[in-house]
Amino acid sequence: MRRIDKVKTWVFWTIRLLLILGTILSVINYNWINTALFLLTLFLTFLPSIIERKLKIDYPSEGELILILFIFASLYLGEIHAFYVKFWWWDLMLHAISGFIVAGIGFLIVYILNKKKELGLNPIFVSIFSFSFAVSIGVIWEIFEFITDSILRVNMQKSGLADTMWDLIVNSIAASIISYFGYLYLKGKMKSKIIDVLKTRFLEKNSDLFK
């Protein structure tokens, strides 16, 4: 097992144990809102593995690690421990990071398919897709926040419409930056070791998809 795989496993189960402990304490204290948030966060830590099995795709461990840390920072630290209230920039920071991550994932998937399947897609199309993919995921997240607020009576949206719009604006800016750099990479005007490493790892883990 590579070092990054060991780190991923350790981080995943440390976070899950924290969430299980938090769930138990919330039940003991009759704090049902926190109980629901703990259980929701715990479920989301298993979501990447569920998606992998359903789609028969194996993500690079680096990507899974970033995703689980994002979920932890968003729901566990942000909502349960009120980091969104303690630090005004916490929400905007996470949405910027999510924009970078999701746009990068969208770009990487289309880029690899384009190369391996010889689709002949224009670099502009690949960049637009990665941008659209990230913005779409951002919109879905805002819908998730609205539904969670409505059902659990929490306050994930904070200041309502203003919070939602700023989240989407920051997410879109981050996605546009990644899409632009992706375009430069495809045109050969920029090199990226990150893209090269993730591309290699993804191909190693999913060679059957590109035969």
pLDDT tens profile 173-193: 999 998 998 888 888 888 777
Q: What is the DSSP string of 145-205?
A: HHHHHHHH---TTTTTHHHHHHHHHHHHHHHHHHHHHHHHHHTTS---HHHHHHHHHHHHH
Q: Is 147 in the same domain as 181? A: yes
Average the pLDDT over 135-143 and give the result.
89
Of the pLDDT bands very low, low, confident and very high (cuts 50, 70, 90), residue 17 is very high
The number of distinct structural domains making up the chain is 2
Under 8 Å between Cβ of 192 and 104: no
Under 8 Å between Cβ of 115 and 190: no
Q: Is 16 in the same domain as 76? A: yes
Does the CA dihedral 118-119-120-123 come out positive or negative?
A: negative
Q: Which two tokens stand for residue 88?
A: 């005004």
Residue 127 above 80 pLDDT? yes
Instruction: Give the range of the structural domain holding residue 133, as residue numbers without chain letter.
Output: 84-211
Full-model pTM:
0.74
Q: Is 147 in the same domain as 179? A: yes
- Report pLDDT for 111: 80
Q: Is 170 in the same domain as 183? A: yes
Q: Is 192 in the same domain as 118? A: yes
Q: Is 158 in the same domain as 178? A: yes
Compute the distance between CA of residue 46 and CA of residue 66 in angstroms, rounded to an integer. 14
Q: Which two tokens stand for residue 135?
A: 């913005």
Q: Which two tokens stand for residue 179?
A: 């899409």
